[in-house]
A and B are shown apart, each in its own frame.
Chain A
Amino acid sequence: DSGVTQTPKHLITATGQRVTLRCSPRSGDLSVYWYQQSLDQGLQFLIQYYNGEERAKGNILERFSAQQFPDLHSELNLSSLELGDSALYFCASSVDWGLAYEQYFGPGTRLTVT
């Protein structure tokens, strides 16, 4: 158990809908990362927050947004869902934002868009 929790575990929804994925980092970790894992694209970094502020942005679509709240939990919002958004979404946390900190991954949310 990494100490990172993600809800829900599974989500099935229709195209065009909007969903919110939630992540609670390990106790004491200030940095949260979101990743998308699909069969064809592999593991793609989406976005990073550190202590409530956006720190780095990756291949995140404009239809997606995220935020980190004062209690350090984070939410990833996916809107106008398309079939291609079906994937595993992982949240990870680390103690700091720097380069040499290992990341602890949550169990993921499996999103299926039908």
Chain B
Amino acid sequence: SQQGEEDPQALSIQEGENATMNCSYKTSINNLQWYRQNSGRGLVHLILIRSNEREKHSGRLRVTLDTSKKSSSLLITASRAADTASYFCATVLNSGNTPLVFGKGTRLSVIA
């Protein structure tokens, strides 16, 4: 089963609104990363948060990490139509050099 599970599976909002996506995982991690994928294209790295960090910002993105709850959230503020994409969380486990384990993603639609 997937290590990371995003919620919701799909989200539709109006331009200008904030979008929040959540990710839960099962085992302890070294870091957690968020990626964006436009339809049928390659993934684009958005932000990496380490297990000893609680919050990180990048432009209109804010990521939080709660290791006690094994969860992370991605907030996109003042959304734009161009933010329409699928968003994936990916975890790097603590157990040695394991590759990224991706969730199934949240499909975000921002309506102009």
- Could you list which residues of chain A lie within 8 angstroms of chain B, going by C-beta atoms? 2, 4, 33, 42-45, 48, 55-56, 58, 88, 90, 92, 97-100, 102-108, 110
Contacts and interface: CB of A to CB of B under 8 A. Distances in A.
B102 A58 contact: no
11 contacts: A43-B43, A44-B102, A45-B101, A45-B102, A56-B98, A58-B99, A92-B43, A100-B48, A103-B45, A103-B100, A108-B42
B40 interface: yes
Interface of B: 2, 30-31, 33, 35, 40-45, 48, 50, 88, 92, 97-105
A105 B90 CA distance: 14
B42 A90 contact: yes
A100 B31 contact: yes
A48 B92 CA distance: 14
A94 to B, nearest CB: 10
Q: Which of B2, B42, B105 has the most CB of A within 10 A?
A: B42
Contacts of A103: 43, 45, 100
A61 B9 CA distance: 28
A90 B92 CA distance: 18
A110 B97 CA distance: 28
Contact of B97 (A43, A56, A102, A108): A56
A55 B97 CA distance: 9
Contacts of B97: 55-56, 97-99
Nearest to B48: A102
Contacts of A4: 42
Nearest to B105: A42
Contacts of B103: 42
Given A99-B30, A99-B31, A100-B50, A2 B100 contact: no
A2 B42 contact: yes
Given A42-B2, A100-B30, A108 B105 contact: no
